[in-house]
Amino acid sequence: MTYQEKKSIVSLISSLLIFAAYCLYRYPQYPEGALDSKEMVHYWGSFVLVLTLVSIAAHIVISIIFNIVFRMTTGEKEPAFADELDKRIDLLAFRNSFAVFVVGFLLAMGSLVIDRPLKVMFIVLIVSGFLSDVTGSLSRLYHYRRGV
Amino acid sequence: MGKALVGNHIRKLRFNRNEMTQQQLADKVGVTRQTIVALEKGNYSPSLELAFRIALAFNLPLEEVFFYGENSEEG
């Protein structure tokens, strides 16, 4: 298995773990009984903001650890640059990831149109963000294994 | 994703050039080894620029390194 394939798998697993761990951590803090209140909007706002920052930081740390482990186990250095194949696969992964997020965004807006609680809109939005991240990693893995 | 329509003789040419490694060829043409692997497996059609750089690395005209369609690699 090549560096890029391993990296895609590590990215996929870390996304799943970060999201699951963060949701488990934040779930008990949900302001019960505060239906569509200011407190609830504040909760969801901080949920999204902190999740974004935590994800970025965790991905950077995991990527550094992965590179160190890769060097130690294979004796090879990781590729120092992205060539035309990497860029093309990145574009395809971004396209798929973006498409998933747009569908999720439209569903989230749809939930407001059919008078669902604000909570539903935020949950759909957060889940679509997570799924778009997973789709990006899966697309990368697929194209590195099967070609473009 | 199907096989690329642009085939090549890169593997054969590497072995005819003192068993040049994939990494050596990759360094020569400015891509990663993964890209050479994908090209040899027929999983990727290179850009015109990369195709020319690979042909130049072997000192051969483009059509002796790459072919279009079902022409299978012999040898």
Q: Minimal Cα distance from A142: which residue of B?
A: B1
Q: Which residues of chain A have pLDDT under 50?
A: none
Fill in the DSSP letter of residue A40: H
Q: Which residue has the tokens 């965790």?
A: A58
Predicted confidence at residue A54, as pLDDT, reads 94
Q: Which of residues 14-73 of B touch A (CB under 8 A)?
A: 30-35, 37-38, 41-44, 46-47, 50
User: How confident is residue B74, by pLDDT bands cut at 50, 70 and 90?
Assistant: very low
B22 pLDDT more than 50: yes
CB A85 to CB B30 under 8 A?
Answer: no
A23 with A54: CB under 8 angstroms? no
Put simply, whether B3 touches A (Cβ < 8 Å) is yes
| Lookup result for tokens 């051969």 | B60
pLDDT tens-digit map of B2-19: 566 789 999 999 998 888
Report the candidate in A112, A107, A101, A82 with the shortest Cα–Cα distance to residue A7.
A82
Can you tell me whether residue A22 is helix, strand or coil?
helix
User: How many angstroms separate the CA of residue B18 from the nearest CA in chain A?
Assistant: 23
Contact A146 B43 (CB under 8 A): yes
Distance CA A131, CA A137 (A): 10
Question: Nearest-CA residue of chain A relative to B4?
Answer: A148
User: What domains are defined for chain B?
Assistant: 4-61 (1.10.260.40)
Please list the residues that pair with B6 across neighbouring strands. B68
Cβ neighbors of A139 (< 8 A, separation 6 or more) are A89, A92, A93, A96, A97
Report whether B30 contacts B47 (CB < 8 A).
Answer: no
